[in-house]
A = this chain, B = another copy of it.
Amino acid sequence: MSNPDPSIPASTAADLDRQDALAALREEFVGAETSLVYLDGNSLGRPLRRTAASMARFVEQEWGGRLIRGWDEGWFDLPLTLGDEIGRITLGAAPGQTWVGDSTTVTLYKLIRAAVDAQLPDGRDEIVIDTDNFPTDRYVVEGIARERGLTVRWLDVTTHGGVEVEPLRELLTERTAVVVLSQVAYRSAWLADVERITAAAHDVGALVLWDLCHSAGSVPIELDAHGVDLAVGCTYKYLNGGPGSPAFGYVAARHQSRLAQPIQGWMGHADPFAMGPGYTPAEGARRFISGTPPVLGMLALRDMLSLVDGVGIDAVRAKSVALTQLAIEVTDERLAPFGVEVASPRDADRRGGHVTLRHPRMREVVAALWRRDVIPDYRDPHGLRIGLSPLSTSFAEVEAGFEAIAEELGRQASSTTTA
């Protein structure tokens, strides 16, 4: 791609790639060899090359070879063993608190219902959630509030795009049952202060559920150390589990025996194969499982976890910060003249793994970029969102993407002038 503007130091990205200890890992992913510029790893991570083979091998050897015996030989416990791995590698969670199973939406429903049902008898009849939380979180909360007769208290985050502790405190009372927030905001990339916010909720006796969909696998979190009560997260974004791979859930060990989730199925029973009358929930995290676990949907995730484990989540985060920092610097240098604004925090400590840029013509710009195999995504209002999956994205890829964005903004500007 041409680099017609001498104000961009063409060497920056190349230098950063040369200094990047994780650079070689990019070759592990399908598509690394193509010219496509992928800036949407926060919506769907690229597959690892090894995953095609591991899925084929699973079909032929494990499913095809072991057949029903596979359930006794690991599949039955896979939601818990894989959950423990996610907990250890990315969440700061000791074993026995994390599992994999349903979709994010269903897991949110189960855990928010569990929290509400435990808190309602104490007169806690309010749920607090922010106005810019991911839609499915808001829809689930509204549905549960309606069915259980609770009030939703909305934390307005339209001014800064993220959740801060002081404005939140004004909504927290002895009537707060549960607070539902995202660690990283899906639009702005605002990174919440999990420790302080969790403590503020606990000050009034509320439980907190953290949605980790836009952080798990790119931003570390210390669920146990920060006293988090409940969490849910997605595995097809920075954990590269594949389209629609199942979500994980987390319930702190101290709460497990007093929380009951509403969808009581055979896989959460204390003795699943007794098949007798009446439901007795299993001890521990198994009680939050409902149906037969989606084994095929967990295989790619397992591959990616082993890659993250090899380098450590802190190294992943360091590269993520460097990638988003480059994106912001190039925006200031190259895109600000077109009137583009950075709609994500400039402070790396308050920023997740993506960056959102605003411009009135961004919808058209994104459509044009897709046509030339440069793939960010678009989010209302006027947002071009760049999701930089740390292990599969090079600095050169970011630079190439910004060249293309600058060109398309230039075209939009000239077509507007001409029109």
Contact = CB atoms under 8 A, between A and B. Distances in A.
Contacts of A299: 296
A224 interface: no
A279 interface: yes
Contact of A296 (B31, B265, B297, B375): B297
A70 interface: yes
Query: Looking at chain A, what size class is its interface with the partner chain?
Result: 35 or more
Contacts of A246: 294
Interface in A57-101: 57, 59-60, 63-65, 67-71, 75, 101
A370 B69 contact: yes
A263 B141 CA distance: 9
Given A103-B292, A290-B109, A46 B67 contact: yes
B60 A266 contact: no
Interface of A: 29-31, 36, 38, 40, 43-44, 46-47, 51-53, 55-57, 59-60, 63-65, 67-71, 75, 101-106, 108-109, 131, 134-136, 138-140, 142-143, 147, 236, 242-247, 262-267, 269, 272, 274-279, 290-297, 299-300, 370, 375, 377, 379-380
Given A52-B64, A104-B291, A243-B295, 17 more contacts: A44-B63, A44-B68, A47-B59, A52-B57, A53-B56, A70-B243, A103-B290, A105-B291, A105-B292, A135-B272, A136-B267, A138-B277, A143-B263, A236-B292, A244-B295, A244-B296, A296-B296
A57 B56 CA distance: 9
Nearest to A299: B296
A59 B291 contact: no
21 contacts: A46-B64, A47-B63, A55-B55, A55-B296, A68-B375, A68-B377, A102-B102, A102-B106, A103-B292, A103-B294, A105-B266, A105-B267, A105-B291, A134-B266, A142-B278, A143-B263, A147-B262, A242-B296, A243-B295, A274-B380, A275-B379
A140 B242 CA distance: 29
Nearest to A187: B275
Please report whether the interface of chain A is mostly helix, strand, loop or mixed according to DSSP: mixed
A232 B160 CA distance: 45
A40 B36 CA distance: 46
A174 B101 CA distance: 38
Contacts of A275: 134-135, 379-380
Contacts of A53: 56
